[in-house]
Amino acid sequence: MIQGIFETHVHVRDLEAANEFYENQLGLKKVLTLTDRKVIFFEFPNQSQIFGIWEKTEEEWTRSHFAFEVNVSRLKSGITWLNNKGIEAVESFGLEPLEPIVHTWVPMASIYFKDPDGNSL
């Protein structure tokens, strides 16, 4: 029945700064802004998935973790791509971000970084 994730939402503390990061640095396409609700929705190229960022007060804010799907051939240059955008890859599982981290328990590799609010991506 379940085939994947259709929608993901995260809390941010500064909607404008988060919009700059997700739209201009990562290249997501903004599809809807609801100013009164302090939310911006993005879509991913060639997919039917929605990603929402919601501005919250410091008391309401919670840190999140989520992952983007990236073609493995492009992932190999991911650290350089992030660095060129002024985004620093971070250590994960005790490993320095010198190359994508291969997770042997699932068929995937990852590069970890953070958004302006400290959400783990």
Q: pLDDT per residue over 11-64, tens digit each?
A: 999 999 999 999 999 999 999 999 999 999 999 877 778 999 999 999 999 999
Q: What's the pTM value of the predicted model, to 2 decimals?
A: 0.86
Per-domain residue ranges for the chain?
7-110
Phi then psi dihedrals of residue 83, to 5 deg = -55, -40
In this structure, are strands 29-34 and 39-43 parallel, antiparallel, or unpaired?
A: antiparallel
Instruction: For residue 55, give Cα distances in angstroms to 33, 65, 78, 81, 88.
Output: 12, 16, 28, 27, 23
Lowest-pLDDT choice from 18-22, 76-80, 104-108: 104-108
Q: Domain 7-110 maps to which CATH number in 1.10.287.110, 3.40.830.10, 3.30.930.10, 3.10.180.10?
A: 3.10.180.10
